[in-house]
Amino acid sequence: MSDNDNARGYASPPCFMHELTPEFQPDDRPADAAAWTDVKRWRKAERQRLIDARMAMSADARAARTETIAAGLSEAIGAPRGKLISLYWPFKGEPDLRGWMNDMIAAGGRFALPVVIQSGHPLEFRAWAPGEPLERGVWNILVPSNGPAVYPDVVIAPVVGFDGENYRLGYGGGFFDRTLAAMPAKPLVLGIGYTEARIATIYPQAHDIPMDRIIIG
Ligand SMILES: Nc1nc2c(c(=O)[nH]1)N(C=O)[C@@H](CNc1ccc(C(=O)N[C@@H](CCC(=O)O)C(=O)O)cc1)CN2
Ligand SMILES: Nc1ncnc2c1ncn2[C@@H]1O[C@H](COP(=O)(O)OP(=O)(O)OP(=O)(O)O)[C@@H](O)[C@H]1O
């Protein structure tokens, strides 16, 4: 036996289980309230990092990315005629898809915007078309003043972050998850965001509902 046989490495390899399965807890702690506390803390910091990075992007770069996202949305949705699509009023550097919305309306599509009714409750979707009155809602986001409550066929959800399993990290209100869980029929759910918003995992929890697709630019 040569001396080299013992020099190849450690008797047992270091444990990388925690890198393979996010649920794996090296200290054997059960996936319980303590783990959710950790995930919540992690999500809060990760949201801040991702929003800061997005806000630092130049307006030109954002507009170019938004073009790519708009093309991806058109491809995913197909002919807009007869479809009711929920968009969002952009804020905090989210892609501004209102120009794309106008094109879709010209091609026969109809739109709605999400409205926060109360924290801890599902969003309401209100039908809206350009020119109809808007008012300031939660976080100063503009929402339709009147439009009837509707159930869209397609829901476009802006992501703060997303992972390879199509899970979405949002702003922490749990609104889209609660809304999708409460809808009578499942809409086509399209997450949209910038490529930099991709992260390894959002540490999905039982309440997190994956998007059907994530469209990036
Ligand atoms: N443009 C746009 N409109 C949108 C959404 C969106 O993601 N983008 N929403 C998508 O859902 C809804 C609004 N989402 C919201 C999510 C959280 C809070 C909020 O008050 N957050 C708490 C922090 C919560 C926590 O971290 O525990 C806060 O800021 O104090 C408000 C609105 C509807 N409209
Ligand atoms: N279907 C649901 N029923 C009850 N509580 C829920 C539901 N969905 C989410 N929540 C709660 O909402 C809170 C925020 O969830 P989460 O971190 O997933 O928000 P988010 O998806 O980033 O936010 P948003 O959708 O508003 O942008 C959590 O405390 C979660 O337990």
Compute the distance from residue 94 Cα to the ligand 1 centre, in Å: 13
In one-letter notation, the amino acid at residue 112 is: A
Q: Which of 207, 208, 209 to mutate to test the pocket of ligand 2 (most atoms within 8 A of CB)?
A: 207
Nearest alpha carbon, ligand 2 atom 31? 207
Q: From the CB of residue 48, how many other CB atoms can be counted at a distance below 10 Å?
A: 11
Strands 161-162 and 168-169: antiparallel
Q: Ligand 1 in contact with 35 (CB < 6 A)?
A: no
Supply 118's token pair: 């109360």
Q: Is 44 among the domain residues?
A: no
Residue 92 in any domain: the answer is: yes
SS3 115: strand
Range of the domain at 182: 59-216
Does residue 170 have its Cβ closer than 6 Å to ligand 2? yes
* CATH number of the domain to which 98 belongs: 3.40.50.10420
Picking from 3-12, 128-137, 144-153, 202-211, which range would have the lowest pLDDT averaged per residue?
3-12
26 C-alpha to ligand 2 centroid (Å): 26
Q: Report yes or no on 37 lying in a domain.
A: no
As a whole number, the mean pLDDT across the chain is: 90
Q: Could you tell me which of 37, 35, 41 has the C-alpha nearest to residue 23?
A: 35
Tally of domains within the chain: 1
- Indicate the top mutation candidate among 139, 162, 192 to test ligand 1's pocket, ranked by most ligand atoms within 8 A of CB: 139
**What are the CA-CA distances from residue 74 to residues 43, 77, 85, 118 (Å)?**
31, 5, 12, 32
Does the residue 142 lie in any domain? Answer: yes
Q: Is residue 103 part of a domain?
A: yes
Our CA angle for 176, 212, 20, nearest 5°, is 95
Cα of 121 from ligand 2 centre, angstroms = 10
Q: What is this structure's pTM?
A: 0.87
Tell whether 35 is covered by a domain.
Answer: no
How many Å apart are CA 185 and CA 180, to the nearest integer? 9
User: Is residue 21 a part of any domain in this protein?
Assistant: no
Q: What is the pLDDT of residues 152-178, one digit of tens each?
A: 999 999 999 999 999 999 999 999 999
Q: Is the CB of 43 under 6 A from ligand 2?
A: yes
Let me know if residue 38 belongs to a domain. no
Considering 3-17, 27-41, 131-145, the range whose residues carry the highest mean pLDDT is: 131-145
Note whether 107 and 133 are within 8 A (CB).
Answer: no
Q: Does 176 sit in the ligand 2 pocket, CB within 6 Å?
A: yes
Q: How do residues 182-200 score in pLDDT, each as one tens digit?
A: 999 999 999 999 999 999 9
The Cα 14–Cα 26 span in angstroms is 12
Give the Å distance between the CA of 2 and the centre of ligand 1. 64
With a cut of 80, say whether residue 18 has pLDDT above it. no
